[in-house]
Amino acid sequence: MIDNLKSPTRRQLLAMIGKTAGGAAMYQAMTTLGFASESSFNGQMELTGAPAGVSIIVLGAGLAGLAAAYELRKAGYKVTVLEYQNRGGGRSIHLKGGDKFTELGGGVVTCDFEEGNYFNPGPWRIPSHHYAVLHYCKKFGVALEPFIQTNNRAYLHRTNHFGGVPQRLGDVQHDIRGHVSELLSKAVNTGGLDKEVTREDKEMLLENLKGWGALSNDYTYKRSLTTSKYRGYSVYPGGGLMPNEQASTPLPLDDLLKSGVWQDIYAQHTTYSHSPTMFQPVGGMGKIGDAFTRECQDLIRLNAKVTEIRQDDSGVTVSYVDSNNESGSTQTARADYCICTIPLSVLTQIPINVSKPMADAMAAVPYETSFKVGLEFKRRFWEEDEWIYGGVTYTDMPIQQISYPSQDMFKQGSGVLLGGYGYGPTSYKFNTLTPEERIEVALAYGKHIHPQYLKEFRSGTSMVWHRMPWTLGCYGVWTQETRDQHYKTLCSIDNRIVLAGEHCSHIPAWQEGSILSGLDSAKRLHQHALSV
């Protein structure tokens, strides 16, 4: 393998270069599947002239439902919102000290964080191109601050590579760039790219590769003060009679390839959705849901569990019970039209008379599972001991990610880490654990990256989304095939019912997708009401 890397064929070289551009390729693939599209929001929505007396019932007080309700009321519609929970905002939520909830299976999750600390168990960051979220935050007075996604001081960790020692993301990133620059320069010098570049271009390319990859005069990437200027030193420059700086040793390319840390860089840190600058609400993600709820509070009936949805030629009747007392009497609400934002994982279990194509579309979208664990520590040791201010560490252990807070830097006292965030098979395993066990497991794994864990731990909380009775999963999962077959039907107006939510968007799992879907359903329903 080493010999092949020293003298790559053109195909091997181009494949290697392709890996360095993997973020762009990954983004294109994710866009195709509907995971990372840029927002199409281009300005404030203005709906006017609602037909006199027309009423609309919105099911769900998440961001999709409340965005639709807010704009439709402005247009002159009579709007009612039914919400299963005792709060609005849906998955736009944060947990703070004193919060408590019961998940499916009877497990009680508590949060005992100190005042001022919080944890985002759902959405936790906002891309700068999610224009609708930013618009409503500004409109409703939700203060935002930068969210640090990428930090070169955070770690990439593999249990069975590098002796299990976490590697600084910046070290890995610069080593990959250096090694690829060396490979490319060798290909240029041996004539491997003669058909692609002219002699003049070759000279410029070599000169730029030398600087870009921090290569030596013979175009090799090796231990030197020059490479350390980019990847960091083993002994950093000081002052006075302090020891002179010492060069650090780059990681071998073979180890980087075998470990898989390369994938963490191009899959997690270079995609368009995660490019700087990102934002977060000051005080927790729930501030966005709280703001929408405040603006629509007179429209919302909380603790309303929908049990049946029936439409006829003149309107829609929704049956519901008190979610805190399901043995109570059934109530009904009637309206001319209905916008339903109930997650499909729940909606498919509720009697609803829609067309067969719509029913098939609703049943075609499964929901991804996901878990998050929040850990509060007595002091911010990641800052004080390891110089980590924000950013995300990635590991092949089941906790998968550790995210460092972007707020309250240099604060004395306690702080909260995202101590684990995963989805897929790993998440199902976490779902089988009790709330207490999740904390224990997160600590047991996390101590291999941060030995301070057990000594500094103070409190913990968690959320496993398949155990949330109001969503039964984290977000809708599309494939290109199901999107081609069912997406248009799912988003269409079915007589007097139209669906909305992140599952009815090309940006699933993001708040932007929810809001855009809510706005689009409101606009189309308004146009429909005007046309009949």
Say which DSSP state 271 is in.
S
pLDDT of res. 376: 98
Asked if 205 and 316 sit in the same domain, the reply is no
pLDDT of res. 185: 95
Asked if 396 and 280 sit in the same domain, the reply is yes
Of 467, 485, 501, the residue at which a domain comes to its end is 467
Asked if 249 and 169 sit in the same domain, the reply is yes
Phi and psi, residue 266, nearest 5°? -80, -20
Asked if 379 and 462 sit in the same domain, the reply is yes
Asked if 280 and 394 sit in the same domain, the reply is yes
How far CA 88 is from CA of 61, 130, 247, in Å, comes to 5, 21, 55
| Dihedral sign of CA atoms 131, 134, 136, 139 in order | negative
Asked if 170 and 229 sit in the same domain, the reply is yes
Asked if 462 and 394 sit in the same domain, the reply is yes
Asked if 249 and 205 sit in the same domain, the reply is yes
CA gap 416, 376 in Å, rounded: 4
Number of domains comprising the chain: 3
pLDDT of res. 328: 84
Asked if 436 and 386 sit in the same domain, the reply is yes
Asked if 372 and 462 sit in the same domain, the reply is yes
CA angle 239, 241, 247 (to 5 degrees): 70
Mean pLDDT by 10 residues, the chain (532 residues): 35 41 37 49 84 98 98 98 98 98 97 98 96 97 97 96 96 96 94 86 93 96 96 95 96 95 81 90 98 98 98 98 90 98 98 98 97 98 98 97 97 98 90 96 98 98 97 96 98 98 97 98 97 92
Alpha helices in 250-330 (DSSP H): 253-259, 261-268, 286-296
CA angle 105, 308, 327 (to 5 degrees): 55
Domain hosting residue 70, numbered range: 55-89+289-363+477-531
At 228, which amino acid appears? S
Report whether 37 contacts 506 (CB < 8 A): yes
Residue 217 sits in a domain whose CATH number is 1.20.1440.240
pLDDT of res. 2: 32
